Structure 1
Amino acid sequence: MSRWWRGLKTTVQTSTAPSLSACNYHTIQAIPREYTGNRVSARDREQGRIPAVVFNQSLLQKDPVNRYPSRKQLLTTERKQIKSILKSLQAPFFCATTFQLQIRVGSESSVLLDSEESLTH
């Protein structure tokens, strides 16, 4: 039993977690999508894209006057981009990490629709 605990301690100490500064250098670029559904998502995945949903929530506002209903954005991003971010972080997990999110007009466009911080799950 003591060997198991020592092994666990070694694993926890040697595991690499993404540093806060490393996450600040990565930006996820996405484009809005208009249609939803299983077939649309399957087609996106076949073409190397990842369908995503971003929820903006104003419940953290302390002043009730400034609160607005949460809204949902349907987005898609490139699989290559997410894989390269995961590879550069060298972390065994990708849960609850904050990244900069840029929403562009099109896949090759330089026009920004929105730029914000996003918490990934």
Structure 2
Amino acid sequence: MIKLKYVAVFPILVSLCACTPKEDPNSGIENSDFDIFCDQFTRLVNADDYSELTAQERALKLDTFLTEKLPPSSNAYQAWMAIQNAAADQRSMLYKDAARSAGHSDWSCLAVEQYGSQVGSH
């Protein structure tokens, strides 16, 4: 079941990122949409009520945070929409893969690495 979910999400993720132009690593352009995603994910896990919320409630709260800061067409938001439904233990890796596919090879987010499995549809 887990592998099926991973297989179902991965083609969506690849197609989203494949349509996006890559940033020139020498251009000095920051990975702003994934950085904003990380900031909002960190905001979520630092919220006073985080431990009281279910994974799905956390996902709804994060989505609210993200829609305040990111356009729905951004790579990070599109990745979030696909990956939140992935198997919990695959999410952190999938976010990193999405950032890499969008041209941000050095992107990382400690909050996602530590808590990515705890925020999603199940």
TM-score by length of 2: 0.25
Which structure is higher in helix share?
A: 2
Higher relative contact order at CA 8 Å, sep ≥6: structure 1 or structure 2? 2
Which structure is higher in strand share?
A: 1
